[in-house]
Protein backbone atom coordinates (compact mmCIF):
# COMPACT_ATOMS: atom_id res chain seq x y z
CA UNK A 1 0.00 0.00 0.00
CA UNK A 2 2.88 2.31 0.82
CA UNK A 3 4.40 1.78 -2.66
CA UNK A 4 1.09 2.62 -4.33
CA UNK A 5 0.86 5.83 -2.31
CA UNK A 6 4.45 6.77 -3.24
CA UNK A 7 3.72 6.01 -6.89
CA UNK A 8 0.66 8.27 -6.81
CA UNK A 9 2.73 11.10 -5.33
CA UNK A 10 5.34 10.72 -8.09
CA UNK A 11 2.65 10.70 -10.80
CA UNK A 12 0.94 13.78 -9.29
CA UNK A 13 4.26 15.64 -9.12
CA UNK A 14 5.10 14.85 -12.74
CA UNK A 15 1.59 15.82 -13.87
CA UNK A 16 1.76 19.15 -12.04
CA UNK A 17 5.20 19.91 -13.47
CA UNK A 18 4.14 19.11 -17.05
CA UNK A 19 0.91 21.12 -16.82
CA UNK A 20 2.60 24.19 -15.37
CA UNK A 21 5.77 24.02 -17.50
CA UNK A 22 4.69 26.62 -20.07
CA UNK A 23 2.96 29.04 -17.69
CA UNK A 24 5.50 31.64 -16.68
CA UNK A 25 3.39 34.55 -15.45
CA UNK A 26 -0.29 35.15 -14.92
CA UNK A 27 -2.10 38.21 -13.62
CA UNK A 28 -5.67 39.31 -12.95
CA UNK A 29 -5.61 40.75 -16.51
CA UNK A 30 -5.07 37.35 -18.08
CA UNK A 31 -2.74 34.43 -18.66
CA UNK A 32 -0.69 32.75 -21.36
CA UNK A 33 0.85 29.30 -21.70
CA UNK A 34 2.77 27.44 -24.38
CA UNK A 35 2.93 23.70 -24.86
CA UNK A 36 5.34 22.12 -25.31
CA UNK A 37 7.62 24.68 -23.76
CA UNK A 38 10.70 23.25 -25.55
CA UNK A 39 10.69 22.78 -29.33
CA UNK A 40 12.97 22.57 -32.36
CA UNK A 41 12.61 25.02 -35.26
CA UNK A 42 9.85 23.80 -37.59
CA UNK A 43 7.87 22.28 -34.70
CA UNK A 44 4.36 23.34 -33.70
CA UNK A 45 3.42 24.74 -30.30
CA UNK A 46 -0.01 25.32 -28.78
CA UNK A 47 -0.38 28.81 -27.31
CA UNK A 48 -3.39 29.45 -25.12
CA UNK A 49 -4.56 31.79 -22.42
CA UNK A 50 -7.11 34.42 -21.58
CA UNK A 51 -7.50 38.18 -21.48
CA UNK A 52 -9.96 39.72 -19.05
CA UNK A 53 -13.16 40.97 -20.69
CA UNK A 54 -13.06 43.94 -18.29
CA UNK A 55 -9.58 44.92 -19.50
CA UNK A 56 -10.20 44.38 -23.20
CA UNK A 57 -13.54 43.97 -25.00
CA UNK A 58 -14.29 40.43 -26.16
CA UNK A 59 -14.59 41.68 -29.74
CA UNK A 60 -10.85 42.54 -29.78
CA UNK A 61 -8.42 39.79 -30.77
CA UNK A 62 -5.50 38.72 -28.62
CA UNK A 63 -2.16 39.17 -30.42
CA UNK A 64 0.76 36.97 -29.40
CA UNK A 65 4.04 38.90 -29.19
CA UNK A 66 7.71 37.99 -29.01
CA UNK A 67 10.83 38.77 -31.01
CA UNK A 68 11.23 39.09 -34.76
CA UNK A 69 13.26 35.85 -34.77
CA UNK A 70 10.23 33.98 -33.46
CA UNK A 71 7.52 36.06 -35.17
CA UNK A 72 9.02 37.52 -38.36
CA UNK A 73 9.26 40.24 -39.48
CA UNK A 74 8.22 42.48 -36.57
CA UNK A 75 7.76 40.35 -33.44
CA UNK A 76 3.97 40.26 -33.70
CA UNK A 77 2.62 36.73 -33.90
CA UNK A 78 -0.83 35.52 -34.76
CA UNK A 79 -3.96 37.45 -33.76
CA UNK A 80 -6.51 35.14 -32.22
CA UNK A 81 -10.23 35.59 -31.64
CA UNK A 82 -11.36 35.23 -28.02
CA UNK A 83 -14.48 33.53 -26.75
CA UNK A 84 -17.07 35.15 -24.47
CA UNK A 85 -14.89 34.39 -21.43
CA UNK A 86 -11.81 35.98 -23.02
CA UNK A 87 -10.07 32.64 -23.68
CA UNK A 88 -7.98 32.08 -26.80
CA UNK A 89 -5.90 29.29 -28.33
CA UNK A 90 -3.78 28.89 -31.46
CA UNK A 91 -1.27 26.43 -32.91
CA UNK A 92 1.89 28.09 -34.22
CA UNK A 93 4.73 26.58 -36.25
CA UNK A 94 8.11 27.94 -35.15
CA UNK A 95 9.97 29.17 -38.27
CA UNK A 96 12.87 26.96 -39.33
CA UNK A 97 15.06 30.08 -39.32
CA UNK A 98 14.54 30.66 -35.57
CA UNK A 99 17.89 30.36 -33.75
CA UNK A 100 18.12 28.34 -30.52
CA UNK A 101 17.37 30.33 -27.37
CA UNK A 102 14.75 31.24 -24.81
CA UNK A 103 11.94 33.45 -26.07
CA UNK A 104 9.41 35.36 -24.01
CA UNK A 105 5.87 35.32 -25.35
CA UNK A 106 3.42 38.03 -24.40
CA UNK A 107 -0.11 39.09 -25.25
CA UNK A 108 -1.51 42.37 -26.55
CA UNK A 109 -5.19 43.21 -26.64
CA UNK A 110 -7.00 46.45 -27.42
CA UNK A 111 -3.72 48.14 -28.40
CA UNK A 112 -1.89 47.48 -25.13
CA UNK A 113 0.16 44.81 -23.39
CA UNK A 114 -1.80 42.54 -21.06
CA UNK A 115 1.19 42.07 -18.74
CA UNK A 116 1.50 38.28 -18.93
CA UNK A 117 4.31 36.15 -20.32
CA UNK A 118 5.47 32.60 -20.95
CA UNK A 119 8.82 31.14 -21.93
CA UNK A 120 9.48 29.10 -25.07
CA UNK A 121 12.80 27.29 -25.36
CA UNK A 122 13.91 26.69 -28.95
CA UNK A 123 16.59 24.02 -29.20
CA UNK A 124 18.85 23.09 -32.10
CA UNK A 125 17.16 21.10 -34.81
CA UNK A 126 18.41 17.53 -35.10
CA UNK A 127 20.76 17.10 -38.04
CA UNK A 128 19.93 14.57 -40.71
CA UNK A 129 17.15 12.05 -40.75
CA UNK A 130 16.57 9.68 -37.85
CA UNK A 131 18.35 6.36 -38.24
CA UNK A 132 15.58 3.78 -38.45
CA UNK A 133 14.88 0.58 -40.28
CA UNK A 134 17.27 -2.18 -41.22
CA UNK A 135 19.68 -0.48 -43.58
CA UNK A 136 19.58 -2.13 -47.01
CA UNK A 137 16.57 -4.22 -46.07
CA UNK A 138 14.36 -1.21 -46.65
CA UNK A 139 14.55 -1.61 -50.46
CA UNK A 140 14.05 -5.37 -50.80
CA UNK A 141 17.82 -5.96 -50.88
CA UNK A 142 17.38 -8.65 -48.22
CA UNK A 143 15.25 -10.86 -50.49
CA UNK A 144 18.16 -12.83 -52.07
CA UNK A 145 20.02 -13.01 -48.75
CA UNK A 146 17.27 -14.83 -46.88
CA UNK A 147 17.54 -18.13 -48.82
CA UNK A 148 21.33 -17.89 -48.75
CA UNK A 149 21.29 -17.49 -44.97
CA UNK A 150 18.90 -20.42 -44.56
CA UNK A 151 21.18 -22.52 -46.82
CA UNK A 152 24.27 -21.76 -44.72
CA UNK A 153 22.40 -22.57 -41.51
CA UNK A 154 21.26 -25.88 -42.98
CA UNK A 155 24.83 -26.77 -44.05
CA UNK A 156 26.14 -25.83 -40.58
CA UNK A 157 23.52 -28.07 -38.97
CA UNK A 158 24.44 -30.99 -41.21
CA UNK A 159 28.16 -30.51 -40.44
CA UNK A 160 27.50 -30.50 -36.70
CA UNK A 161 25.53 -33.78 -37.00
CA UNK A 162 28.29 -35.35 -39.15
CA UNK A 163 30.98 -34.27 -36.68
CA UNK A 164 29.11 -35.93 -33.81
CA UNK A 165 28.72 -39.15 -35.81
CA UNK A 166 32.40 -39.10 -36.81
CA UNK A 167 33.41 -38.46 -33.20
CA UNK A 168 31.22 -41.40 -32.12
CA UNK A 169 32.78 -43.74 -34.71
CA UNK A 170 36.34 -42.72 -33.89
CA UNK A 171 35.93 -43.12 -30.13
Query: pTM above the 0.85 mark?
Result: no
Confidence of residue 22 (pLDDT cuts 50, 70, 90): very low
pLDDT for 140 equals 56
Does residue 36 fall inside a structural domain?
A: yes
Whole-number pLDDT of residue 13: 40
Work out how many domains the chain is built from and give that number: 1
**pLDDT in the model for residue 19:** 40
pLDDT band at 151 (very low <50, low <70, confident <90, very high): confident
Residue 145 lies in a domain: no
Residue 137 lies in a domain: no
Residue 41: the pLDDT is 93
Work out the pLDDT band at 102, boundaries 50, 70, 90.
Answer: very high
Residue 51 is assigned to a structural domain of this protein:
yes
Assess if residue 144 is contained within a domain: no
Task: Report the C-alpha gap between 66 and 49 in whole angstroms.
Answer: 15
Q: Is the pLDDT of residue 74 over 50?
A: yes
- Domain interval for residue 76: 23-122
Quick one: what percent of the chain has pLDDT higher than 70? Answer: 70
In a domain, 31, yes or no: yes
* 141-154: average pLDDT: 74
Whether residue 157 has pLDDT greater than 80: yes
Domain-embedded: residue 127? no
Please give the Cα distance from 169 to 70 (Å, whole number).
81
CATH of the domain at 97: 2.60.40.10
pLDDT digits (tens, 9 = 90+) for 4-16: 444 434 434 443 4
Question: What average pLDDT is seen over the chain?
Answer: 79
SS (H, E, C) 72-127: CCCCEEEEECCCCCCEEEEEEECCCCCCCEEEEEEEEECCEEEEEEEEEEECCCCC
Q: Is residue 162 part of a domain?
A: no
Q: How far apart are CA 63 and CA 105, in angstroms?
A: 10
Amino acid sequence: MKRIFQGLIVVATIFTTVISAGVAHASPNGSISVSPSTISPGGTVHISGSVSIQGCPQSDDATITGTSALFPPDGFGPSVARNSSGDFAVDYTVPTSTPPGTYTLGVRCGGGNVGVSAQLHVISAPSGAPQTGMGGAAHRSSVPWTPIGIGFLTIAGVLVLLRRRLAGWLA
